[in-house]
Structure 1
Amino acid sequence: MNPDDDLQTIRTQPPAPPVSLATGGEPAQGSANYHLGREVARGGMGCILEAEDRKLARTVAAKAVLLDSDMDEGTKQRFIREAEVLARLSHPNIVPIYDIVWEDGLPLFYTMKLVKGRTLQHILNELCNEHPEDLRDFTLDRLLLIFRKVCDAVAFAHSKGVLHRDLKPENIMVGEFGEVLVMDWGLAKVLNDEVRESAASDSSFTAPSGASPTATLQGAVMGTPKYMSPEQAMGQIAELDERSDIFSLGGILYAILTLRPPVDGKDLHEILEKVKTGGITPPTAFGVTTGAHARHVKGEVLEAKKIKPLPHIESGRVPAALSAVAMKALALDKAKRYQNVAAFSADIERYQTGFATSAENAGFAKQAALLIKRNKGIFTTAFAAWLIVTALAVWFVFNLRAKEQRATKAEAVAVQEKETARQALAKSQLDLAEKEFERGKFIEAQKILTETPESFRDANWRFLQAHSSDFTARLSLPGKGAALRLQFLPQGDRFAARCSSGVIGIFSLTGRQIGDSAPVNGSGAFRIDSAGGRIAFAASASEVAVQEVATGKLV
């Protein structure tokens, strides 16, 4: 309404001179106690004036009824009901009422706390205009805190059986010191108060063709079209309950997220039709960047692709979780909305504290991502520790592998060196055996050849072995005849021989006999034990004799 419209007047009394209570003067009564000053705001049923409470020497706000004729019964009942509702609702986020002034049997005005600040709608407009100070002061997180305070106020009202029915950003005051107050309870409905409700409403409502979509409507359709619930838009007064206010709260959250109302249209009828049918675009559709932003006619609903990034949200896009919360509150079917304000506010708190909301049906991956985000410091530390442990493990594995490779290489070198040493030893043995053979020391040569490893018994070895054996076979021992069978003792310094004379004796490498000789039968086969201490041989066809090597004595 136009603040300068002189067809509407405010019935007031001329201000009386101030009276000091401290001097014992009698305070003025009724309207005379208040000095009404400048207009602060104006609504559909009345306006807000700044007033001076002379009794308590304080500045208050006075809501007066706009009158161009006598007050009808409906207007009177709504005004009285608003004052009574405010008196019933004592809450930090609901503006408190101080007094109501009557004159000539009619309520003239009531006084309440004067809140110095701005409406939430004004703040959202400044954000939309990208005002630097508001973008700095009113981040999305702070706007959500403001919204939760509004939820607290509405939840308290619902607990007292009161519906607001006209919740919108324009009816929320944000004070200079962070106060958040829900204002304008003129359309409030007290549940189970059907008599007062009937007197305060007009069932013959018809939406005026020139009515503003942001103005509060009176009659069967009560509220602000862009924020009212579908049941309000259809005039179903009896169907209104707490979930109707929850729809309007969803509209406020929608405006906080997108900086625009949940529904828009060219005229009031188009807006009401969208409200009735649930034609609301999800908030995630807004904030899409394009190369050029097309101009649009006032009142036309913008396409998502034509809207620039949202300036008050860091990413420029509405978070999907908050979009889901808003759309749940704005559900066409009341049963699909939040069933109470506390559940609605709890989902906002979950989002702000890093938890998944009930509206988004988050899966395991989303829950895990939010868990990491909530405990970013812990997970960052844990991840850094994991990287360190992994790096140490990798270093240890590589270092161990390097050591193993070095050990394997060293082992291979050692094996090669050992093999080289064996080859050198075998070669030296063969050289020594060959020299002994050349000197005619066939027994010594044969002993050396016997000790040569099999893998080094080459053609040269076989030659020396064959010829030394031939010479050994023709060996003649003093007094015993030719040596027919010969075997070296393990010690290598003597050998046992079966002689042609039919005896077995122990001889030194020079052919000197050690100990006694023992007679043998048959082939004269004999064996020396592994210790080289005894010789076993066939003494007869049925007897085996054992002889001590050291002494040559028979055992």
Structure 2
Amino acid sequence: MTDGNAPDDHGPDAGPALRAGDAEGAVDLAVYDFHAAVDRGEAPRPEDWVAAHPEIAGELAAYFDDLAAFAGPPGPGAEATRAHPAAGPGGGAGRAGLATRLDRPRPGDELGGYVLLERLGGGGQGEVWKARHLKSNDLVALKVLDARVESDGSSVRRLTDEARIIAALRHPNIIRIKYFDHDRGRWFISMDLMEGGTVADRYRGSPAPPEAAAALMEKVARAIHHAHTRNPGVLHLDLKPANVLLDPDGEPRVSDFGLAIRVESLATLAAGSRSTGLSPELDGESEADPAPGPDASAGGGPAAAPAPAPGAGPQDETVAYPVADAMSEEASRTLYRLGAVGTFPYMSPEMAAGRWADVSTASDVYGLGAILYAMLTGRPPFQGKDGTETAAMVIEGNLTPPRRLNPEVDAELQAICLKCLHRDPARRYGSADALANDLGRRLRGEPTVAGGPSTSKHLRFWARRHPFQVALAAIAFGVLAAAAGSFGQLRTSNAREAARLARDVDDKLRMIGRAIVRSARDPRLVDAFRRHDGSPRELRLALDAFLAEISKDYNYWFDLTDSQPLFNVYLVDPSGTLLADTIPEGERFLGRDFSRRDYFQGFRRPPLEGERHAYYVSRVYHSIKDDRYKVAIATRVWDEEAGRWVALLVANVTAGSQLVDLDMRNELPGAAVVSPPDWTYTEFEGTPPSRYVVLLSPDHATAGAPFDPIWRAASDVPLMASFEADPSLKEAVEYVHAGAMTDYHRVGRTPLVVVLRQPYSWPLRLIDSPWQLALVALVCAATVYCAWMRARRGRRAAS
């Protein structure tokens, strides 16, 4: 019923240590708080932040080291290094100013503490060299900016952006930056040497095995989701086979973040008609950036675009310029459109058409689908005679299905690929993680979201070639085998998906819970109660101002928009009287008593009764303020000096298809999060009906009124009564109901329960009760016995 864990405050005065399972979330929240303090004009010291979080001190120290190392380059041509002093491979920041300028790198030359061994690739913006560290003898890849573009601030900024972005992304499938420096007149990045080449090299002109393609792209998709969801999150925007490097064991690493843009900068990009390129700093220059430099791949890398041809400047919105390096994608073309650069065959339609308002994480999902398509077919999704024709094909979106080009591609994998490559960004996967989950289902042989739940195929019998007795036996054995296989597969996959969805929902509720606990411990809130005690009008004004401020923070942290369920915050006093509310027109309910609400009564029951900084997730209730159904996350505001709690801070989320960034439209069709209703302050409070309310469901997105309640009768979810009666019950399964299996899994220690119902394949779909299941098994066994007896009598008669 409750989540009794008191989440920690992640400000400089952090509370007790978190559990190990919450470490990653704790790092994210601490980083969020640090940058929020900077945005407010404060000057937090990283060392103080690390000291205040001893349980995650190592992770935070590493983050702040990277932040210092990649804080930004000096002006073009400057000789001072911006790398972290402790990390320098060359042994000092002054080395760049003492060495002679390196105009044309050659094997044997030294650069920033490395000796160049072999040129791996290059393009219009720079070169990639295989190099050896002079002291450790480690082999690395050096990405060196070309001397011709050293004076171009946008090119230097792009290289710096790429170094800073990759350094902040810690994922096993993202290329790792070792060092970034400026030496002998050259900017360079040192990164892992990937001697397995690129996906483009390995599968050039020949399709990859479908299983291998799905397994590799699942890892790449999870790496891109990591980039999307970090703080700050970034979009790659130039995903293509040449930017996926391979180690000698074939493990992928995503590289070349030269076009990456912060997710939070999308609104700025959409609002401005021009930019210097897809860089985190949208400074509004009119001149387009050069294309990204080559990759750190032993097998070569994608070339950068050269300068525009004479007479076709960066202002031209229709001309495409070919990539100079012949070793790059055969059909690759780059587009100088509104300052954007990308690779046509793998560019999303919204980018190719210049619809910047539509650029989002869905644009990277398109790029992932384009790489998958190229691996499955051996060619890009679109391939015209030149860049202009290729761009028109991308925008038009008439795609040849992969199975027509490679019959070995199965229908499920093709459905995944085509969903990624849909022209409409809203019809693609909601996130790279949703794509990775679907590829995982495909690899496990489970039904995918893209292809729909699969059903067992009907058994084919050769009855005409066999006697009647053999046919009966074969039918009986086939029915039993199909039933057993369908039952076992569905039981395993249903339990796994229900448990995963319950964890995801619990993670989002914990995120909100930690946020409101941090707000409740804000000294400004307690100080308002102390200063205005006995002055209701001044207290209300102070509380309204505080709630308005934290509501803006919540909207930023949780990415709440008008398309998502409403989120509001309010305060009630220890007697249950409403003090302040952020909901529109909520002032007319001030002074009303809400002490019977479940979110209020939850703190009068153990184990929360004696815990100060815990939060409670309530049952779904009907709000009399706006006539919607909501779940509340509440915590108490304590006056530590007085030793008492002075108010209850409550945040609630309206029932719908989304919770923060969890989109139920990406889940299986039969999934829902169900809650026992809180009937207080309704006509049913005295005699509650036997039904339950759905908090989260894909059906909310397709309903005519998306915030109208969706009910489940008690007879439709009979095991919900057990969860309501026993708060310690974690999971249960209803094996047979209306031809389907239903898994129940509690969300953390809340009253919410994930209900996942999936239909059986034929013939179990015809079964509606356990008694019918037993009857079918008895009939099948009797059929087999009769067939065996007929065959035995036939052999006796023949003898």
Q: TM-score, normalised by structure 2?
A: 0.39
Matched, 1:278 2:363: no
Matches within 5 A, 1:462-501: none
Residues 399 and 259 of structure 1, relative CA distance in 2, 3 Å threshold:
closer
Cα distance in structure 2, aligned partners of 1:246 and 1:162: 13
Partner of 1:257 in structure 2? 376
Kept in 1, the 8 Å contact 2:456–2:486? The answer is no
Shift of 1:56: 2.9
Matched, 1:149 2:219: yes
Bigger Cα displacement from structure 2, 141-150 vs 155-164: 141-150
SS in 2 for 1:250: helix
Shift of 1:95: 0.9
Shift of 1:248: 0.6
Cα distance in structure 1, aligned partners of 2:414 and 2:488: 20
1:175 to 247, 253, 275: 247
SS in 1 for 2:173: coil
Partner of 1:292 in structure 2? none
Residues 123 and 64 of structure 1, relative CA distance in 2, 3 Å threshold:
same
SS in 2 for 1:92: coil
Partner of 2:121 in structure 1? 41
Shift of 1:107: 6.1
Structure 1 letter corresponding to 2:219: K
Q: CA offsets per residue over residues 116-165 of structure 1, 9 Å max, x none?
A: 1121111212635xxxxxxxxx6321222111111121111111211111
Cα distance in structure 2, aligned partners of 1:26 and 1:210: 41
Structure 2 letter corresponding to 1:122: D
Shift of 1:204: 2.5
Cα distance in structure 1, aligned partners of 2:438 and 2:132: 42
2:346 to 193, 217, 227: 227
Matched, 1:88 2:182: no
Kept in 1, the 8 Å contact 2:140–2:192? The answer is yes
Matched, 1:323 2:409: no
Cα distance in structure 2, aligned partners of 1:275 and 1:107: 37
Partner of 1:188 in structure 2? 260
Partner of 1:115 in structure 2? 194
Cα distance in structure 2, aligned partners of 1:197 and 1:389: 76
Kept in 1, the 8 Å contact 2:215–2:443? The answer is no
Matched, 1:197 2:293: no
Q: CA offsets per residue over residues 3-62 of structure 1, 9 Å max, x none?
A: xxxxxxxx9x9xxxxxxxxxxx99994544121232112245322111222243312111
Bigger Cα displacement from structure 2, 197-206 vs 259-268: 197-206
Q: CA offsets per residue over residues 408-445 of structure 1, 9 Å max, x none?
A: xxxxxxxxxxxxxxxxxxxxxxxxxxxxxxxxxxxxxx
Structure 2 letter corresponding to 1:268: G
Partner of 1:124 in structure 2? 203
SS in 1 for 2:392: helix
Cα distance in structure 2, aligned partners of 1:192 and 1:359: 29
Kept in 2, the 8 Å contact 1:164–1:187? The answer is yes
Structure 2 letter corresponding to 1:266: K
Residues 363 and 86 of structure 1, relative CA distance in 2, 3 Å threshold:
closer
1:344 to 431, 435, 438: 435
1:237 to 356, 361, 367: 356
Structure 2 letter corresponding to 1:47: E
Shift of 1:268: 1.0
Structure with the bigger RCO (C-alpha within 8 Å, sep 6+) is 2
Kept in 1, the 8 Å contact 2:114–2:133? The answer is yes
SS in 2 for 1:226: helix
Kept in 2, the 8 Å contact 1:166–1:185? The answer is yes
Structure 1 letter corresponding to 2:264: N
SS in 1 for 2:145: strand
SS in 1 for 2:442: helix
Matches within 5 A, 1:448-459: none
Shift of 1:322: 1.2
SS in 1 for 2:343: coil
Kept in 2, the 8 Å contact 1:355–1:371? The answer is no
Residues 273 and 76 of structure 1, relative CA distance in 2, 3 Å threshold:
same
Partner of 1:75 in structure 2? 155
Matches within 5 A, 1:376-455: 390=783, 392-396=785-789
Residues 216 and 371 of structure 1, relative CA distance in 2, 3 Å threshold:
farther
Shift of 1:242: 0.6
Structure 2 letter corresponding to 1:39: R
Cα distance in structure 2, aligned partners of 1:283 and 1:26: 53
Cα distance in structure 2, aligned partners of 1:209 and 1:116: 32
Cα distance in structure 2, aligned partners of 1:402 and 1:120: 63
Shift of 1:282: 1.7
Q: CA offsets per residue over residues 306-338 of structure 1, 9 Å max, x none?
A: xxxxxxxxxx33211111111111111111110
Kept in 2, the 8 Å contact 1:225–1:271? The answer is yes
Partner of 1:140 in structure 2? 210
Kept in 1, the 8 Å contact 2:175–2:253? The answer is yes
Residues 283 and 196 of structure 1, relative CA distance in 2, 3 Å threshold:
same
Kept in 1, the 8 Å contact 2:349–2:395? The answer is yes
Shift of 1:115: 1.2
Structure 2 letter corresponding to 1:231: E
Cα distance in structure 1, aligned partners of 2:222 and 2:484: 26
Partner of 1:54 in structure 2? 134
Kept in 1, the 8 Å contact 2:209–2:376? The answer is no
Cα distance in structure 1, aligned partners of 2:315 and 2:155: 15
Shift of 1:179: 2.4
Q: TM-score, normalised by structure 1?
A: 0.54
Kept in 1, the 8 Å contact 2:238–2:367? The answer is yes
Cα distance in structure 2, aligned partners of 1:274 and 1:205: 19
Partner of 1:214 in structure 2? 332
Structure 2 letter corresponding to 1:211: P
Cα distance in structure 2, aligned partners of 1:226 and 1:373: 43
Partner of 2:702 in structure 1? none
Cα distance in structure 1, aligned partners of 2:169 and 2:192: 14
Residues 248 and 393 of structure 1, relative CA distance in 2, 3 Å threshold:
same
Residues 267 and 369 of structure 1, relative CA distance in 2, 3 Å threshold:
farther
Structure 2 letter corresponding to 1:248: G
Unaligned runs of 5+ in 1: 1-10, 14-24, 129-137, 288-315, 380-384, 406-555
Shift of 1:254: 1.0
Shift of 1:112: 0.8
Aligned-pair identity (%): 30
Cα distance in structure 1, aligned partners of 2:360 and 2:143: 27
Cα distance in structure 1, aligned partners of 2:315 and 2:321: 18
Shift of 1:221: 3.4
Residues 270 and 373 of structure 1, relative CA distance in 2, 3 Å threshold:
farther
Shift of 1:357: 1.2
Residues 391 and 188 of structure 1, relative CA distance in 2, 3 Å threshold:
same
Structure 1 letter corresponding to 2:164: E
Kept in 2, the 8 Å contact 1:44–1:215? The answer is no
Kept in 2, the 8 Å contact 1:95–1:112? The answer is yes
Structure 1 letter corresponding to 2:218: R
Cα distance in structure 1, aligned partners of 2:376 and 2:282: 34
1:163 to 207, 222, 235: 235
Cα distance in structure 2, aligned partners of 1:228 and 1:26: 42
Kept in 2, the 8 Å contact 1:76–1:107? The answer is no
Residues 73 and 237 of structure 1, relative CA distance in 2, 3 Å threshold:
farther
Structure 2 letter corresponding to 1:120: V
Total equivalences in the alignment: 341
Kept in 1, the 8 Å contact 2:374–2:381? The answer is yes
Kept in 2, the 8 Å contact 1:47–1:66? The answer is yes
Cα distance in structure 2, aligned partners of 1:375 and 1:239: 39
Cα distance in structure 2, aligned partners of 1:217 and 1:56: 42
